[in-house]
Structure 1
Amino acid sequence: MKMIKKRHLSFREIAPNMVTSGNLLCGMLSLILSFHGKYVPAAWLVFFAVFFDFMDGRVARSLGGGSQFGMEFDSLADVVSFGVAPAFLMYVTSLQGFAGVTGGLVVCFFALCGALRLARFNVVHVPGPFQGLPIPAGGLFLASFVIAGFSLPSYVAAALAVTTGVLMISSVPYGNLKGLRKGNSNKKKFFFLGFVALALIVTLHTSAPLAAISIYVVSGLLHFDWGKWLSLQEEDPLKERV
């Protein structure tokens, strides 16, 4: 009988998945807090999940420990933190009891679109802008209404959830910042964005996250490429000869 040799995973392979676990933990805690009526902390946990979602890729690249397993695990965590958790939060705050089971169907549609968006990204992702609104942005968009303290009418909340879901599975191009590195990013534009973010926080307070994520959502509809705008553009060789 042939024995299967066990393979021990190295730290560089485990570390990124440990960070991804933080993403999943935030999503689960957000669901628990929503269930207990702690809506604002639940919404902030969706934002905290973005930190872990961003860092797991950075850790994987720095350690050279990225794997197919890690990519699949990251997608599963994203479904919970940016699909199910924001959908449930929107349901309990604005859509519970809306037109019978319609409110429940609406948030199920949002979560389903998020899962489809991730599956498509894993299979057909190509370099350049994202095709469709990324699921973290979709989840943050819904959660930011709770942080802002807006009491949305049920029909408005339903329209927002459905529209956001449609944008996730659409082919609308959205700026991709993953290709930016220290050597190819425009520092002046990053400082400008930092100044704008600070101004939003000072002037809008708890509505600042909603304003920021709304700008990103609208930018895709306008075909504005944030990745291209923030990168250092190479000089046209024809211009150098003039």
Structure 2
Amino acid sequence: MDKHKRKQVRNIPFRMIIPNMITSGSVFCGVSSIILTSHGKLLPAAALICFAVFFDVMDGRVARSLGGGSHFGEELDSLADAISFGVAPAFLVYSAYIGPDTGIWGPLAASFFALCGVLRLARFNVTHVPAGPFQGLPIPAGGLTLAAMVIAGAPVTPLVAICAMCFIGALMVSSVPYCNAKRLNKHNVNKVKLYGMTTFIVLCFVVLREKAFLAVALMYIISGLVRFDGAAWIMLDAEDERSAEDKE
């Protein structure tokens, strides 16, 4: 390696390192969840998948705010998502609801879910249009739904768990449009609708408690099936958006 290349490696801007460090938190959560699941600690394992969602949201926001996004970061994010929202939740649901008594069908369903998640990530990297809705269920939503089943203590039979993993996996590789909240910013949101939706979600957690994650995840899944785009509903129309920008 010549002197110029060594200098390039040493001088990586810190603003590019921070988002990748946050993404690494998602990897930590995913691997830790798998280990805890293998020891029968199902609730902590499910909670770590929820924490991974937080890291997945924050790494992108931090990268955009610092101007530190990179191709490396995008690839790292996909690899982290494959672990935290593909492999970890599939193993969690298999361990919590299915087990070896179902023979080959349980491992097949878990593998199918993880494979669909990986395919979803690969397709996203090459086809996603930032300004539009997601094509297919995002893998964090799919993984969170499986983890939420465990957190809620849902009385799920092995057959239902197998069907759930197959159905959610199929949604991830489908063309069903899903809400993309990344389109929202302070200039283009209807604050009344935003506060109303936020209040509704908070009330879900107050009333439903540990079942709220599952309720919110199922509502998101259903929103795509009925073609309801929450982000588009919250966004201002073009004229109102220009007025909001003029007031800033």
TM-score range, shorter-chain basis?
A: over 0.9
Runs of 5+ unmatched residues, structure 2: 241-248
Runs of 5+ unmatched residues, structure 1: 237-242
RMSD (Å), alpha carbons: 1.5
| Amino acid in structure 1 at the alignment position of 2:36 | L
Paired residue for 1:21? 24
CA–CA separation in structure 1 for the residues paired with 2:210 and 2:202: 12
**TM, length-normalised to structure 2:** 0.91
**Residue 120 (structure 2) pairs with residue 121 (structure 1):** no
| Amino acid in structure 2 at the alignment position of 1:187 | K
What is the DSSP-based 3-state SS (H/G/I as helix, E as strand, rest coil) of the residue aligned with 1:128? coil
The answer to whether the Cα contact below 8 Å between 1:31 and 1:85 also exists between their aligned partners in 2 is: yes
Deviates more, 1:172-181 or 1:6-15: 6-15
CA–CA separation in structure 2 for the residues paired with 1:104 and 1:158: 9
CA–CA separation in structure 2 for the residues paired with 1:65 and 1:28: 26
CA–CA separation in structure 1 for the residues paired with 2:2 and 2:76: 30
Paired residue for 1:179? 183
Q: What pairs up with 1:15-94 in 2 under 5 angstroms?
A: 15-94=18-97
The answer to whether the Cα contact below 8 Å between 1:98 and 1:154 also exists between their aligned partners in 2 is: no
Paired residue for 1:240? none
Q: What pairs up with 1:1-242 in 2 under 5 angstroms?
A: 5-6=5-6, 7=8, 8=10, 9-126=12-129, 127-235=131-239
CA–CA separation in structure 1 for the residues paired with 2:95 and 2:30: 16
Residues matched between the structures, number: 236
CA–CA separation in structure 2 for the residues paired with 1:17 and 1:202: 33
| Amino acid in structure 1 at the alignment position of 2:199 | F
| Amino acid in structure 2 at the alignment position of 1:61 | R
CA–CA separation in structure 2 for the residues paired with 1:203 and 1:3: 62
The structure 1 segments of at least 4 consecutive aligned residues displaced by more than 3 Å after TM superposition are: 1-4
**TM, length-normalised to structure 1:** 0.94
CA–CA separation in structure 1 for the residues paired with 2:166 and 2:101: 14
The answer to whether the Cα contact below 8 Å between 2:201 and 2:216 also exists between their aligned partners in 1 is: yes
Cα drift, residue 194 of structure 1: 2.0
From the two aligned structures, give the one with the greater helix fraction: 2
Cα drift, residue 99 of structure 1: 2.7
| Amino acid in structure 1 at the alignment position of 2:224 | G
Cα drift, residue 101 of structure 1: 1.6
What is the DSSP-based 3-state SS (H/G/I as helix, E as strand, rest coil) of the residue aligned with 1:171? coil
